[in-house]
Amino acid sequence: EQLNESLRTSAEANTSTTNDTVEDYRQQIRQLEGDLQMEREALKATQSQTMAQIGRLEDNQKSLVDEISILQRNIAVEKSANQELEVRLKNALKMSEDVDRDYNEFKVKANKTLADKDELIRALKSTGDPDGTGEADDAVKRVLQSQCDAMVLEIQELREKYESVRRQLDRVNNEDVVALTTRVHSLEEQLAGEQQVRQDVELELRQSRDESRYFQEDLHQTRQSLESRIGDRDVEIEKLRKQVVSKRSGNAEEYEQRFRNLTENLIQKQTIVESLTSEKHSLSLQLERSEQRLRDALANSQKSAEVSIGIHHSPSFTNLVNRSSVRPLVEDYPEDGNVTRRVKRAYGQIDAFSIRLGNFLRAYPSARAAALVYVFILHIWVAFVLIYYEPEQHGPNFKMPDMSTD
């Protein structure tokens, strides 16, 4: 009986020890499952942030492509108008040359006709009858005089026509030159704005590439850390499985079922990790396509040498500026004194305020207009006071009133 009692006691002790060990293993498994759940949630949060950032980059890219297309259409319209003005100027110059040529030809013909008539008059005078009455000479002179008068009138009409055409040509030339000069200045300003926009777009592209590389590195590090953690968990689960298999008793089927479930969970988690990896690859491909579209848009704008209006006056462009890239006006150094640091801090605050004010006025045209109106009214008021204000004047006998009281 004592032997049976000792065997029973040892069996109960072994059973309790086994139960405690199994309970410890269960707690460890629950803890591992909780850790895996937390890591899965962290991975989902990282994935959602990456998707949101990629969405913002795609929206910015679409807005830039739309603005570039609008600018290209405006440039095409300006080019067609410029070509039309050039054609008009060429036609006017050609018309002026034709008029000059006709006038010179007619002038040569008129001079030749007058010379022939003078010769005819001299010939008639030399062959005339000295004893005659001279009536024939008078008739010839009258005929020649009438022809000369007609030729002079015709020459005057042609000269007036030539002068009118010359004035019209000068007026057309002046108008076309002024219009072309104005348009050239506007095109130069638009070209400068387009170059500034191109530089800003290149800066945005570099920032997008840096952010993309940062997200890829972060995702790669997260994946490696998760894979290492999953490997550690697999090793721990395998150890626990071996320990449970070595110590299993009558409830071995239950333990085997539990380990089977754990194995299935592990397979599911590996499947989730593979799906996340494939999603990461798809996101990388989407990001590369977005960068390729942006590069194509920039290449098209560079090849066509287009110009555009300054989009840096729009609020959407102001939001695209990376304000963190603006360096402070002055920097603090360890060897600076208290007064120097205060002065530098004051300069920095004034510079930051001026930058914010400039961004505000750039983003809101109504504020710029209000500021200009205020400055204009202030100048008018100061000019009015300076012109109409007369200081009080006193004579030499003027005495100040006695302000003392008795």
The string of pLDDT tens digits covering residues 299-324 is 776 665 444 434 444 444 444 444 44
CB distance 96 to 176 below 8 Å: no
pLDDT value for 131: 47
Say how far residue 16 (Cα) sits from the centre of its chain: 75
pLDDT value for 378: 95
Query: Are 46 and 101 contained in the same domain?
Result: yes
Residue 346 to residue 130: CA distance in whole angstroms: 115
Give the residue, 379 or 362, on which the prediction is more confident. Answer: 379
Q: Is the pLDDT of residue 138 over 70?
A: no
Residue 304 lies in a domain: yes
pLDDT level of residue 373 (50, 70, 90 thresholds): very high
Two tokens, residue 149 = 């008068």
Highest average pLDDT, of 141-150, 189-198, 266-275, 353-362, comes from 353-362
Q: Is the pLDDT of residue 248 over 70?
A: no
In this structure, the number of other CB atoms found within 10 A of the CB of residue 92 comes to 18
Query: Are 338 and 298 contained in the same domain?
Result: no
Query: Are 61 and 131 contained in the same domain?
Result: yes
pLDDT value for 10: 66
Give the tens place of pLDDT for each residue, 12-40.
Answer: 776 777 777 777 777 877 887 788 788 77
Q: 310, 95, 58, 99: which is closest to 204 by C-alpha?
A: 58
Region 286-311: mean pLDDT is 66
Residue 232 lies in a domain: yes
Query: Are 304 and 339 contained in the same domain?
Result: no
pLDDT level of residue 7 (50, 70, 90 thresholds): low
Query: Are 284 and 368 contained in the same domain?
Result: no
Q: 196, 373, 209: which is closest to 295 by C-alpha?
A: 209
Q: What share of the chain is helix, strand, coil (3-state, %, to 5)?
A: 85, 0, 15
Region 395-399: mean pLDDT is 61
Residue 127 to residue 124: CA distance in whole angstroms: 5
Residue 399 lies in a domain: no
In this structure, the number of other CB atoms found within 10 A of the CB of residue 22 comes to 19
Query: Are 219 and 302 contained in the same domain?
Result: yes
Q: Is the pLDDT of residue 376 over 90?
A: yes
Q: Count how many Cα atoms sit within 13 Å of the Cα of residue 374 in the half-sphere of its side chain.
A: 6
Q: Is the pLDDT of residue 194 over 60?
A: yes
Q: 323, 312, 315, 297: which is closest to 205 by C-alpha?
A: 297
Two tokens, residue 103 = 């006038």
DSSP state of 336: -
Highest average pLDDT, of 130-139, 242-251, 314-323, comes from 242-251
Give the residue, 292 or 139, on which the prediction is more confident. Answer: 292
In this structure, the number of other CB atoms found within 10 A of the CB of residue 89 comes to 17
Q: Which CA distances in Å does 379 have to 23, 24, 385?
A: 88, 86, 10
Domain boundary among 289, 312, 335: 312
Query: Are 269 and 385 contained in the same domain?
Result: no
Residue 92 to residue 169: CA distance in whole angstroms: 6
Residue 85 to residue 366: CA distance in whole angstroms: 36
Q: Is the pLDDT of residue 135 over 80?
A: no
Q: Which of 7-21, 35-49, 137-151, 298-312 has the lowest mean pLDDT?
A: 298-312
pLDDT level of residue 137 (50, 70, 90 thresholds): low
pLDDT value for 140: 63
pLDDT value for 176: 65
Query: Are 294 and 374 contained in the same domain?
Result: no
- Average model confidence (pLDDT) for the chain? 73
Q: Is the pLDDT of residue 371 over 70?
A: yes
The residue type found at 382 is: V
Residue 191 to residue 310: CA distance in whole angstroms: 9
Burial of 160 (0-12, 13-18, 19+ CB in 10 A): exposed
Structural domain range at position 6: 2-312
pLDDT value for 316: 44
The residue type found at 219 is: L
- pTM comes to 0.29
Q: Is the pLDDT of residue 180 over 80?
A: no
Residue 376 to residue 334: CA distance in whole angstroms: 46
The residue type found at 209 is: R
Q: Which of 3-17, 18-32, 263-277 has the lowest mean pLDDT?
A: 3-17
Q: Is the pLDDT of residue 242 over 60?
A: yes
pLDDT value for 379: 95
Region 108-114: mean pLDDT is 77
CB distance 162 to 276 below 8 Å: no
pLDDT level of residue 93 (50, 70, 90 thresholds): confident
Q: Which CA distances in Å does 324 have to 49, 64, 207, 347, 359?
A: 21, 22, 12, 18, 14
Two tokens, residue 277 = 């990896």
The residue type found at 395 is: G
Q: Is the pLDDT of residue 377 over 90?
A: yes
CB distance 77 to 187 below 8 Å: no
Domain boundary among 269, 287, 312: 312
pLDDT value for 6: 62
pLDDT level of residue 11 (50, 70, 90 thresholds): low
pLDDT level of residue 356 (50, 70, 90 thresholds): confident
Q: 237, 99, 275: which is closest to 172 by C-alpha?
A: 99
Region 149-164: mean pLDDT is 76
Domain boundary among 258, 289, 312: 312
Query: Are 365 and 258 contained in the same domain?
Result: no
Residue 293 lies in a domain: yes
Two tokens, residue 123 = 């010939």
What is the domain count for the chain?
2
Two tokens, residue 160 = 């007036």
The residue type found at 172 is: V
Q: Is the pLDDT of residue 381 over 90?
A: yes
Q: Which of 3-12, 57-66, 163-172, 197-206 has the lowest mean pLDDT?
A: 3-12
Mutual orientation of helices 252-303 and 135-247 as an angle, nearest 10°? Answer: 170
Two tokens, residue 104 = 């010179």
DSSP letter string over 306-360?
Answer: -----GGGSHHHHHHS-GGGPPPSS---TT--HHHHHHHHHHHHHHHHHHHHHHH
Query: Are 359 and 238 contained in the same domain?
Result: no
